Amino acid sequence: MHPVLHQHPTYTHDATACEECDLLVPATTLAVGETSSCPRCGHTLSRHLPQQERRPLAYGFAALIMFALSNVFTFMSFSSHGVGQEMTFLQCITTLVEQGYLFLGAVLSLTLIGLPLVYVGSIMLVLWRIDKEMHSRALRSLGRLLCRIRPWLMVDVFLIGVLISLVKLMGMADIKMGLSFWAFVGYTVLLIKMMSSLDRMWLWQRLFGPTESRELDPEAGAMASELVGCHICGALSEAGTDRCPRCGDHLHARKPGGLNRTWALLITSVILYIPANLYPIMDTVFLGDDSPSTILGGVVLLWALGSYPIAAVIFFASVVIPLVKILALLWLCYVVQRGQGASPLRKLKLYRMTEFVGRWSMIDVFVVAILAGLIRLDNLMTIYPGPAAVAFAGVVLITMVAAMSFDSRLIWDLQQGERERE
């Protein structure tokens, strides 16, 4: 039977190691609404949120209803010169597949439908069975799945892409938002609320109980103390342990592959970044006239039309952010490899920024998918995705994986090494 730990005024999270700087943090008691953070780097370790067993269930059930409604009615409608076209939410994906862009269709299917539904369903199943009999291996598998797929949920990015598409089209046609659009807005808000209403460390402790108490040096790192912290559930184990005894995930004192994997991914993204900006990302056929548009060309056109805020958003999301993220990660890999350990907190803040902004570069890919699905007026105007859309989506996804493969604890290892040499 699972331990019975109902909502209490206080909650004590296990001793753990910060996943960003490896500092050992002793068990901490939190009142409802309080947050535990790493004293060295400020990374959030655990939060004692109210009603963690009930709120995610309520948000999840409501989100599933909104998702179903977002596929029933019209999502957007477009009319120009007496000719109109309606689009459902799923047509953003099916149109890409019909036009041979299977990779883009798969990316949208996973980030907007598959992974979000798996995430919602897994949380609801785990919380529904939290005090009931359920195979421990199944619980562990679902828990690990929740932690791994969360960064890949992009419904909020897609929603911003819809709004940008709306602004792009307002000057040339009459655009109306259908009932499914408003249902999708509700689905996005409820999914975000669900994600923010559940704490990962609390969930694992709720499922399998607290870990063994340990005497820790609060100023030492886990590796120096011959311990290793689990990145999935936060439990501490002895160095050399293959799998976490609580969640079953593989344990590594540092991420396997070192910097080599990050270097390889970044070089790949640099190669893809070139065709992503040279080739057209979108091809507009108007009355038989073919007008391909690159990413920068679209920004210039929006600026010329007076859509300055949208042009700025596209420019930063599709040009500046991918380039800055690649350069920032290249620089971090370089300084870590060269052993330059000064100002570790500044380097960590730069790394956090690259992780946070990376997914928002998918806005332009979503905009292309929306326009291709909506504007299909064969005798008047049709929009097709360009080859750069595939390359750009590859850049965004690969840089996200590169940021995940970089081990920020290496930054603090350099500082520790300099102290020992002194």
Q: What is the pLDDT of residues 322-340, one digit of tens each?
A: 888 999 999 999 988 887 7
Say yes or no to pLDDT of 165 above 50. yes
* Residue, of 416 and 350, whose pLDDT is higher: 350
Q: How many domains does the chain have?
A: 1
Q: What whole-number distance in Å separates Cα of residue 145 and Cα of residue 152?
A: 12
Q: What is the pLDDT of residue 297?
A: 80
pLDDT exceeds 80 at position 381: no
Q: 281: which 2 tokens?
A: 């990302």
Residues spanned by the domain of 296: 53-198+254-421
Per-residue pLDDT for 59 more than 90? yes
How confident is residue 1, by pLDDT bands cut at 50, 70 and 90? very low
169-176: average pLDDT: 73
- Whether residue 19 is contained in a domain is answered as no
What is each CA distance from 119 to 63, 115, 275, 355, in whole angstroms?
11, 6, 34, 20
Cβ atoms within 10 Å, residue 53: 17
3-state class (DSSP) for residue 285? strand
Please tell me whether residue 55 adopts helix, strand or coil conformation. helix
The mean pLDDT value of the chain amounts to 84
pLDDT reading at 211 higher than 70: yes
Residue with more model confidence, 120 or 167: 120
Res. 273: pLDDT tops 50: yes
Q: For residue 168, which of 86, 284, 289, 323 has the smallest C-alpha distance?
A: 284
Question: Is it the case that residue 422 has pLDDT exceeding 70?
Answer: no
**Structural contact between residues 314 and 298, judged by C-beta atoms closer than 8 angstroms:** yes
Tokens of 67: 């998702």
The pLDDT assigned to 395 comes to 92
The dihedral region occupied by 74, where left means phi > 0, alpha psi between -120 and 50, and beta the remainder, is beta
Q: CB of 47 within 8 A of CB of 199?
A: yes
pLDDT of residue 311: 78
Q: Give the CA radius of gyration of the chain.
A: 24
- In a 3-state reduction of DSSP, which class is residue 225? coil
Q: How far apart are CA 237 and CA 244, in angstroms?
A: 7
CA gap 66, 185 in Å, rounded: 8
Could you give the residue ranges of the DSSP H alpha helices within 197-246? Answer: 200-208
pLDDT value of residue 127 = 85
Strand pairing category for 289-293 and 376-377: unpaired
Residue 257 confidence class, pLDDT cut points 50, 70, 90: confident
pLDDT band, very low/low/confident/very high, at 161 (cuts 50, 70, 90) = confident
Phi-psi region of 287 (alpha: psi -120 to 50; beta: other; left: phi over 0): left
Residue 58 is assigned to a structural domain of this protein = yes
Top-confidence residue, 8 or 190: 190
Q: Which residue has tokens 């068990």? A: 27
Name which residue leads in pLDDT, 354 or 131: 354
Q: Which pLDDT belongs to residue 397?
A: 92
Which two three-digit tokens encode residue 297? 């060309």
More confidently predicted of 409 and 213:
409
* Residue 1 belongs to some domain of the structure: no
Which pLDDT does position 380 carry in this prediction?
A: 65
DSSP assignment of 155-169 equals HHHHHHHHHHHHHHH
Q: Per-residue pLDDT tens for 242-256?
A: 898 888 899 988 888
> Looking at residue 60, what is its pLDDT?
93
Q: Please say whether the beta carbons of 399 and 265 come within 8 A.
A: yes
Amino acid at 146: L
Mean local confidence (pLDDT), 156-185 = 83
Please indicate, yes or no, if residue 180 is contained in any of the structural domains.
Answer: yes
The count of other CB atoms within 10 Å of the CB of residue 405 is 20
User: Which of the listed ranges 77-86, 135-144, 255-264, 380-389 does the model predict with the highest average pLDDT?
Assistant: 255-264
pLDDT in tens, 2-12: 444 445 677 88
Give percent of the chain with pLDDT exceeding 70: 90
Q: What is the spatial distance between Cα 44 and Cα 59, in angstroms, rounded to a whole number?
A: 23
Residue 69 has pLDDT above 90, yes or no: yes
421 pLDDT band, cuts 50/70/90, is very low
Q: Is residue 24 included in any domain, yes or no?
A: no
Summarize the confidence of residues 23-28 as an average pLDDT: 89
Q: Are 137 and 143 in contact (CB under 8 A)?
A: no
Q: For residue 179, what pLDDT band results from cuts at 50, 70 and 90?
A: very high
Q: Is residue 134 part of a domain?
A: yes
368 lies in a domain?
yes
Residue 25 located in a structural domain = no
Sorting pLDDT into bands at 50, 70 and 90, what band is 286? low
- For the record, the structure tokens of 73 come out as 């009615």
**From the CB of residue 217, how many other CB atoms can be counted at a distance below 10 Å?**
11
Residue (of 50, 45, 49, 5) closest to 24 by Cα position: 45
Burial 323-362 (b: 16+ CB within 10 A, else e): eebbebbbebbebbeeeebeebeebbebbbebbebbbbbb
Strand partners, 381: 286, 377
Q: What pLDDT band is residue 416 in, cutting at 50, 70 and 90?
A: low
Tokens of 283: 């091809």
Coil, strand or helix: which one is 124? helix
